[in-house]
């Protein structure tokens, strides 16, 4: 029986991990390009950048090389570093296959990292012997984390945080086995190559620096020295990977981020934002806080209070260690939520308005919240197993972990109803519109460059077209000023739209004030049948624009110097994704 239990304990992590991965990938493998995929900040941005760079053969292009499909031609430095594993995947596989591979890699990293971190906490913090049930509990907690709705382009920015924390904890002790050393090296490589310095790297390193200072304060100089070396290696790797970005930031060339004005809120709204951030995180870093997770927290604390009231021995080593773990993770969670709110506090925004911090989002500690919530959840389940004792406590903890898995799966975009933000992949990119458009414009003999109205430029870029407009993280300020001339009159019609472009501007789109209900996702059910457009057609031509594709008919096309040459419509799987495309040619005069 002992050997069987040991065998099961070795098999359980692999079986749970494989099952979790199958659940996450099943919609993509079964439905293919008809599966629902996150569109917002994914298909309309990073995904398309990767597809275009791979197609153009410019993933490893020098920083000053011009990538033609974006914004009338854009330097490579503005599209992320060459040493990003996310981009490499698209160089090796077709777009949809690359998306699925990236999804599988992200969830594999998340599961392995979460499992080894939880196992480390249970073995070395809670000092609990790991039987088959204990390993099952660890694996199920890890599966609940691995099945969260990760922001797809983030890669290891969120999913890799547990693996990074595990490596930071392990490296403080003597490394006696090559497997451990290899694991630490893999953790650093994955977190750097598949993560992000600006999203979570800086903030994860801040946490490990706090741990370093704690070791120093306690006189643990050997641990502190090892952790300092670890931090130095990770920092050096991030700097090497992001050398082009850092050089651009350090240069005197103004960028669109120089005009960035973050939203600011009064104290009452900031307190509400802190509470929301604490419970729900942020769109790109959803912690998957479920009723099961909250029930575990309150149940564990209630059990501890009852034990204390009954005069039970609270010096139990395992319980005391689990409470310390819970307290540390919970305090860190509260701190990240507080910093997120403080970043948007009107007092803070006024204080940093004209300083170097104005363009740095120090509130992004929320990228660590999914990992911190997982640690809080694990600690509460450890407390439950200790306080209830015997098999009953473990079974209750396993049941709560199973409930968390169900919640995580139910929130996955691939299992959610189709919507504009989570459409079927094939419907979103509307190849049945842009393939005929290729044939239509191939005979013009022009160097075709499109401008999109009411349609994401990424859709045209994915389909092989060059565009005047684009969605980017940042780009030259001079380009933003030139682009604004095209849409200046439309911005004058809508002050909210003007602020959106002037104070942020990452979406350099051909905005039309008449498209107030949809802006760039103007499917036929919400798009007006016709619009009045006021753009500077000469400024449009200066960007190389030759044609405009609009989701609505442009009533004053002739007065703008536009000639309608086609009206195309797709045949989507879902009627809500039906798209009209009115194609206009710019006259040469």
Buried b (16+ CB within 10 A) or exposed e, 152-180: bbbbbbbbbbbbbbbbbbbbbeeeeeeee
Residue-level pLDDT at 1: 42
Q: Which pLDDT score, from 0 to 100, does residue 95 have?
A: 97
> Are the beta carbons of 4 and 130 closer than 8 angstroms?
no
Q: What pLDDT digit, counting tens, does each position of 58-78 carry? A: 999 999 999 999 999 999 999
Per-residue pLDDT, averaged over 150-168, amounts to 96
pLDDT surpasses 80 at 4: no
**Residue 165 and residue 149: Cα distance in Å, rounded?**
20
- In degrees rounded to 5, what are phi and psi of residue 490? -70, -40
What is the band of 5 on the pLDDT scale with cuts at 50, 70, 90? low
Facing residues of 451 across strands?
548
Residue with more model confidence, 555 or 358 = 555
Distance CA 216, CA 222 (A): 9
Q: What's the pLDDT band for 426 if we cut at 50, 70, 90?
A: very high
pLDDT tens string 245-280: 888 777 778 999 888 888 899 999 999 999 999 999
Looking at residue 129, what is its pLDDT?
63
Rounded to whole angstroms, the Cα distance separating 296 from 167 reads: 27
pLDDT band at 125 (very low <50, low <70, confident <90, very high): low
- Residues 285 and 303: their CA atoms lie apart, in Å, by 31
Q: So what's the pLDDT on residue 417?
A: 83
User: Given pLDDT bands bounded at 50, 70 and 90, which one contains residue 316?
Assistant: low
Q: What is the pLDDT of residues 327-345, one digit of tens each?
A: 999 999 999 999 999 999 9
Q: How many CA atoms lie within 13 A of 17 on its CB side?
A: 22
**What are the CA-CA distances from residue 24 to residues 104, 139, 154, 160, 405 (Å)?**
8, 16, 17, 17, 11
Quick: pLDDT tens for 432-457: 999 999 999 987 767 899 999 999 99
% of the chain surpassing 70 pLDDT: 96
Q: Over range 117-128, report the average pLDDT.
A: 80
pLDDT at 72: 92
Instruction: Give the number of residues written for the chain.
Output: 589
- Average pLDDT score over residue span 27-48: 95
Partner residues linked to 265 by β-bridges: 345
Mean pLDDT over all residues of the chain? 91
* Structure confidence by residue, pLDDT tens digits, 363-377: 899 999 999 999 999
For residue 389, give the 3-state DSSP assignment: coil
**What pLDDT is stored for residue 126 in this prediction?**
64
User: How many angstroms separate the Cα of 557 from the Cα of each of 532, 534, 589?
Assistant: 8, 10, 15
Whether the Cβ atoms of residue 103 and residue 111 lie closer than 8 Å to each other:
no
Determine contact, residues 461/47, Cβ cutoff 8 Å. Answer: no
Query: pLDDT tens-digit profile of 286-300?
Result: 999 999 999 999 988
Two tokens at 405?
Answer: 């898995």
> What phi and psi values does residue 431 have, to the nearest 5 degrees?
-65, -25
User: pLDDT-based confidence at 244, cuts 50/70/90?
Assistant: confident
Q: What angle do CA 401, 403, 408 make, to 5 degrees?
A: 95
Q: Is the pLDDT of residue 357 over 80?
A: no
Tokens of 179: 């497997």
Residue 355 has pLDDT above 80, yes or no: no
- Mean pLDDT of the region 337-357: 87
| pLDDT at 197 (0 to 100) | 93
User: What six digits make up the tokens of 561?
Assistant: 């110097």
Q: How far is CA 374 from the centre of its chain?
A: 18
Q: What is the pLDDT of residue 445?
A: 65
pLDDT surpasses 80 at 346: yes
Residue 314: the pLDDT is: 66
Lookup result for tokens 């940042």: 474
Give the percent of the chain with pLDDT over 90.
Answer: 75
pLDDT at 321 (0 to 100): 85
**Cβ neighbours of residue 171 closer than 8 Å, sequence gap 6 or more:** 184, 226, 227, 229, 230
What are the pLDDT digits (tens) for 8-21?
A: 677 889 999 999 99
Q: Report d(CA 517, CA 510) in Å as an integer.
A: 15
Please state the rounded mean pLDDT for residues 398-406: 96
List the end-to-end C-alpha distance of the chain, in Å, as a whole number: 87
Residue 137 DSSP SS3: helix
Please write the tens of the pLDDT for every residue from 374-385. Answer: 999 999 999 888
Q: Is the confidence at residue 578, as pLDDT, over 80?
A: yes
Higher pLDDT, 312 or 376: 376
């Amino acid at each position: 029986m002992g050997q069987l239990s040991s065998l099961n304990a070795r098999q359980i992590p692999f079986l749970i991990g494989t099952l979790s991965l199958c659940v996450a990938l099943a919609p993509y493998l079964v439905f293919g390009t008809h599966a629902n995929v996150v569109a917002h900040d994914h298909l309309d941005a990073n995904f398309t950048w990767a597809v275009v760079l791979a197609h153009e053969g410019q993933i490893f292009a020098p920083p000053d090389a011009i990538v033609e499909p974006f914004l009338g031609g854009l330097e490579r430095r503005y599209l992320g570093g060459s040493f990003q594993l996310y981009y490499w995947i698209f160089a090796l596989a077709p777009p949809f296959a690359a998306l699925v591979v990236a999804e599988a890699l992200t969830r594999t990293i998340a599961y392995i990292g979460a499992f080894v971190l939880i196992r480390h906490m249970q073995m070395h913090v809670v000092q609990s012997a790991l039987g088959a049930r204990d390993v099952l509990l660890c694996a199920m907690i890890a599966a609940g984390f691995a099945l969260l709705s990760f922001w797809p382009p983030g890669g290891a920015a969120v999913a890799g945080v547990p693996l990074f924390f595990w490596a930071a904890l392990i490296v403080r002790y003597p490394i006696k086995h090559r497997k451990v050393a290899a694991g630490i090296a893999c953790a650093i490589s994955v977190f750097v190559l598949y993560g992000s310095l600006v999203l979570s790297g800086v903030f994860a390193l801040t946490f490990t620096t706090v741990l370093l200072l704690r070791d120093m304060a306690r006189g643990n100089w050997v641990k502190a020295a090892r952790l300092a070396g670890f931090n130095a290696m990770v920092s050096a790797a991030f700097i090497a990977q992001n050398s082009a970005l850092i050089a651009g930031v350090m240069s005197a060339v103004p960028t669109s981020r120089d005009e960035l004005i973050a939203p600011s809120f009064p104290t009452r709204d900031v307190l509400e934002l802190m509470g929301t951030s604490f419970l729900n995180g942020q769109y790109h870093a959803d912690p998957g806080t479920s009723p099961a997770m909250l029930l575990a927290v309150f149940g564990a604390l209630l059990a501890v209070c009852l034990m204390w009231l009954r005069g039970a021995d609270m010096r139990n080593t395992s319980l005391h260690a689990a409470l310390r773990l819970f307290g540390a993770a919970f305090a860190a969670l509260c701190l990240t939520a507080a910093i997120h709110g403080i970043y948007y506090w009107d007092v803070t925004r006024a204080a940093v308005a004209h300083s170097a911090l104005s363009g740095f989002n120090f509130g992004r500690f929320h990228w660590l919240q999914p990992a911190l919530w997982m640690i809080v959840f694990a600690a509460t389940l450890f407390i439950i197993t200790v306080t209830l004792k015997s098999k009953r406590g473990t079974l209750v903890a396993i049941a709560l972990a199973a409930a968390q898995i169900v919640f995580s799966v139910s929130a996955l975009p691939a299992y959610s109803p189709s919507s504009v933000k989570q459409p079927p992949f094939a419907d979103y990119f509307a190849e049945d519109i842009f393939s005929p458009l290729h044939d239509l414009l191939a005979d013009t003999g022009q160097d075709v460059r499109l401008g999109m109205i009411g349609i994401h430029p990424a859709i045209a870029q994915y389909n092989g077209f060059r565009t005047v407009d684009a969605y980017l993280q940042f780009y030259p300020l001079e380009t933003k000023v030139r682009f604004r001339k095209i849409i200046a009159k439309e911005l004058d019609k809508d002050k909210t739209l003007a602020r959106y472009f002037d104070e942020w501007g990452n979406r350099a789109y051909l905005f039309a004030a008449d498209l107030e209900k949809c802006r760039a996702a103007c499917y036929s059910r919400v798009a007006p049948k016709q619009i009045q457009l006021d753009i500077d057609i000469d400024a449009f031509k200066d960007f190389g624009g030759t044609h405009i594709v609009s989701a609505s008919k442009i009533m004053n096309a002739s007065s703008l110097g536009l000639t309608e040459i086609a009206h195309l419509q797709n045949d989507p799987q879902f009627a809500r994704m039906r798209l009209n495309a009115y194609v206009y040619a710019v006259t040469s005069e």
